[in-house]
Structures are given as structure tokens and as C-alpha cells.
Amino acid sequence: MTPLLRNSLLIALNLAIWSLNGLMVNGTVRLSAKSGIPLLIQSDPERIKLSIDARPWQAEDNDGGWLQTPATIYLPEGQHKMLVERPGYGPQQFKVLLAPGDSAVIKPELEKQVETFIETEIVTEGDSFENLTLVVDSGLALGPAPLEIDNLIPGTHLLELRWRGVEGLRKKPYRCVFNAAIVGTNNTLKITIKKSGKKLKVTGCKRI
């Protein structure tokens, strides 16, 4: 067998393995849980965007394309190019070579490119909001209130209020935009959510 034919067969085999373990959806890569060779990602900051072989990686829970680390993903055998990104930070690229029986670890430490980040606190007042989830920029940051973000870049950001597990509140998320701007020496932004009768009142964020 000639080297050219052998290389062609290896490429075809890797593509077949990729198609079995992953599914292309709208140009993104979705990999089945625990299918393939494990790769542990430990990043700083901990919430990142990830591309594999020039295709955006998408979590099974459809978390807006964001990956919360440390996390283990599973890839097919062979060499893969990894791109790690986050707004306000310089990207990092890695190459990993995975073989059966292997496991690998990458530890991206992204360098800040924005000199000043805005500290943001999103809080609730009054009524219980235990079923409320706050989502910033489609998954850049998310969680229950109070939600604190210590590395938000200056500019306009999207806030979504989502309810889970409440039969009577199955409705579209409440969406609003807020501007994180550097004003003097105060780089802290506070957004307050409270109920006014049956309506929500969000201070510091304009509904869209």
C-alpha cells in the first residue's frame, strides 16, 4: 500500500468516526455524551466559547454555545484544532492528538485585552423569585439572583429573565438591554428586579 493511499484511508476513517460521534447542526458540532476520547478543559476565565476544527462547539443543553469549565468533552480519535475565546480576552489555540485509551487536559489562560471590566450585580427585591433564572448575553453569565459578574466588558448587554418549573408562567423570557459604561471611578453596575402588581419592574435595564 502506497503512503498516499494509506493516508487517504486514515482520513476517511477519521471522518467516519467523526460522523458517528458528532452531529452537525447549523454549522455547529454537537457530540454525544461520553462518546469518544475524554478531553478535560480547565480554563481561566471559567466560562468560554469553544471551536473544534473550525466548527463552533455546542453543549447538549444548548447553553448558548458557552462552556462552563472545568468540563470534560469527548472527541473522536485523531488530531484536533481547538480555539478558546471570550469577549474581552485574547483567543488561544491548541492542538490535541487523541488515541484510543488516551485522555488529555488543556488549561487555557486567556489574557485580558480590556483594561477595565465592569462589575455588575443583578438582584431582586420583595417577592420570591426562586424559579427565576437570569441569563446575560445568551449564556455569558447565568444563574439565580443575586447574580454577580466581575468581568463584563463595557458596552451594551442583553439580560433575559426566564422562569422554570412553574406551570402558570410558561411564557417568553422577559428581555431588556443595559449599558455597562465606565463612569468616573465607579465601575459597578446594579440592576434591580421587583414586582409591581402583576408586572415586573426592572431598574437599570430597558425592556425590548
Structural domain boundaries in the chain: 22-106, 118-207
Burial 141-175 (b: 16+ CB within 10 A, else e): bbeebebebebbbbeebebbbbeeeeeeeeeeebe
How far apart CA 60 and CA 87 sit, in angstroms, is 22
Whether 22-106 and 118-207 share one fold: the answer is yes
Q: Dig out the grid coordinates for 168 from the structure.
A: 402558570
CATH topology of domain 118-207: Immunoglobulin-like (2.60.40)
C-alpha cell at 129: 423569585
Task: Please give the distance of CA 198 from its chain centroid, rounded to a whole number.
Answer: 32
CATH of domain 22-106: 2.60.40
Instruction: For 182, list phi and psi in degrees, rounded to 5.
Output: -85, 115
Chunked into runs of 10 residues, the chain (208 residues) has average pLDDT values of 53 42 41 72 95 85 81 92 96 92 91 91 88 92 93 94 66 88 73 87 94
Determine the pLDDT at residue 13.
Answer: 45
Per-residue CA distances from 74 to 30, 93, 170, 195 (Å): 10, 18, 34, 44
pLDDT of res. 188 = 85
- pLDDT value at residue 171: 65
Which residue carries 446575560 as its cell?
136
DSSP 8-class letter at 89: B
What is the predicted pLDDT for the residue at 112? Answer: 93
